[in-house]
Amino acid sequence: MLGRYLDNVRKFSPLIHNITNYVTVNDVANALLACGASPIMADEPDDAVEITAICNGLNINIGTLNSRTIESMFKSGRIASELGRALLLDPVGAGASSLRTNTALDLLKQIKFDVIRGNASEIKTLAMGSGTTHGVDADKADSVNDDNLAFMIDFVKDFAKSSGCIIALTGAIDLVSDSSRCFVIRNGKPEMGRITGTGCQLSGIMTAFVAANHDHKLEACAACVCMMGLAGEIAFTRLQDGEGNSTYRNKIIDALYNMDAKTLNEGAKYEVR
């Protein structure tokens, strides 16, 4: 059952370094605290390397790039890899600009990540850069739905194999896969897409789940995705008349804070293919 992986996060309270999107940095920190982990943020290159060395995991999010943060990402990523820390790449906006796309692809070439977490467009961009998706088939990778589910499961398995990473492709239907197994997850609410930062939060807490469950990384990532989606479901039921996306954001973090293994086990909606 997936709840055990949440228990391990709360038990070990991993320290997670986030070089992340400044639009959502506070929400990432609060989501990590809500799950029982500890956040720290540093993006000055010299500082970031030292901080990475004392942490259990590194979350790299390319949502707001500049020359300083790019340097920090590469230097910190190498240190984290050398020390065997949990490593996650969130390729925010890959495909939208050359800088984002090339930075993400270069990071993948130079650093061994445990997990790549992104939406279908971002994952498709990286997969095409590594030669996984070609021609007409590339159009099928624009989203995940019941009509293309079988294709997309094969797609993420293939990309997991070629990249050597767990692939967490999130959207209306979430896919979390290594080269042999794929968790198909149906937790969440469409309204979560109206809040800035739910994906960034997910990447931060997923890094903590990997750090606390390093021998079961695939299951830990799936548990994290289920937990975030379930928190969105629970929070939505608690909205009152007149409350909107700002309140919803806070209620999602509250739902993460109050989540326990029993709730996650009972509320997780997934199958393994």
The domain ranges of the chain are 3-272
Q: What is the pLDDT of residue 140?
A: 66
Highest CATH level, class, for 3-272: alpha beta
Q: What is the pLDDT of residue 135?
A: 46
Q: What is the pLDDT of residue 136?
A: 41
CA nearest 264: which of 178, 181, 187?
187
Which residue's structure tokens are 């293939």? 158
Q: What is the pLDDT of residue 84?
A: 96
Q: What is the pLDDT of residue 210?
A: 98
Backbone dihedral angles phi then psi of residue 97, each to the nearest 5 degrees: -150, 160
Below-70 pLDDT ranges, the chain: 130-141
Which residue's structure tokens are 């903590």? 208
